[in-house]
Structure 1
């Protein structure tokens, strides 16, 4: 019970749902459920808008297997062009191939015939002149000092002079340069050209030998 005296407002039955103007108005319990539904709906709408506009820009949800037809078209076209080129390369007429092989392969006759190169004719070796080989001088002319004079001329020309003496063999009809070894032929020819005497290859002479006959000056 209240400690204040009762007035005209206290005549309202306590079980009545009506309230006085000086008391707080209570919100019915069913209004709370409606507001909660509205709040949940607004949040769901905001989440849907965010998923529709924001997530695609961040690259979330784009599957790796999603490829446009235009992306796969170049690969297919390249594979088709390669297959076509390979098919055209292998589909060569048999007759053309046989003709090419016939032209490329040489005939058995041409392949079996070896090319022969004529061998060069060997050039005879001419012995070189060797002035160090001694030259003997014999005087068969009967003129005193002729052998010494000729040997002096040969030494001045660079020849090595060996024996210088008078001829003691058979009488000579003329002058001559004699030799027997083939390797002395070049020296004999050179000495004969210098002295103006004919050259003869005669056995028995171990070195180039000059014989001064009658009439030699």
Structure 2
């Protein structure tokens, strides 16, 4: 007998055949699923590391690809060899280059028929001076200028023909043309004319001669 007073729990008969049952602590299903995922992840990681480091050393080809085919595919294609030019082709190209470089012959200009050469100035021919200006002494003054230029002076006198409006230098033949132009240039007379009747180059001094 117990020394403690009896309570409501002591109502169970002492001779009863009932026994206590031990209940197992249940683990929540959520915790089991998380553990399973972690276990699977660790196993996958271990398998991956083993495949990465161990399998290549064992010489096992996991991809099943032919190494010769892969090396052939990765190698760069060699350029196609250009055809070697034959001597006939080289000769044809050389002839074309020479024809292109050779200048075309320039057309030879036809010679232009030149006029007969003009007689040169002959300062040994005399020059006549005629005063038609009405100014006394002008003929002698101009004859001195002509003589100073190297011309021999023939006749110096007054003009007896029709009145003249301007000065002029006259000659009668083409062989005197060069002498007449030279004398006119020295005296500043613009009029030079071929006129029959003058035996030699003749200077006629008209009004306003300077």
TM-score calculated relative to the size of structure 1: 0.45
Between structures 1 and 2, the one with greater helix share: 1
